[in-house]
Amino acid sequence: MSENKNNNKNCPDCDREMTQIRLIDKVAHGVQHRPFEYALRDAKPGKWTDRFPIKGRIAGMMCDECGRVMLYAELAEK
């Protein structure tokens, strides 16, 4: 049996391998698309930048059978 090197998970409903999808965060006043990111719940906007400190990105997995989408934080390297 070949080892599955990617991080794909199986759908809990269909038990099919889920495929990675790209989550798009549309920027309201611009044409940019940015990947989903997340900050900690108690994060405060930065003093200078007025932005939340980004902890990491959110990766999405979708089941192409039932359409279930699951979200995973891409854990930052330590």
Where does this chain bind Zn ion (CB under 5 A)?
Answer: 11, 13-14, 63, 65-66, 68
Place of tokens 């980004």: 54
Distance of closest approach, residue 18 Cβ to Zn ion, in angstroms: 7
Is the distance from CB of 36 to CB of 58 less than 8 angstroms? Answer: yes
Is the distance from CB of 33 to CB of 55 less than 8 angstroms? Answer: no
Distance of closest approach, residue 51 Cβ to Zn ion, in angstroms: 36
For Zn ion, give the closer residue by CB, 25 or 65.
Answer: 65
Spatial CA neighbour of 7 closest among 24, 22, 19, 23: 19
For Zn ion, give the closer residue by CB, 30 or 67.
Answer: 67
For Zn ion, give the closer residue by CB, 59 or 61.
Answer: 61
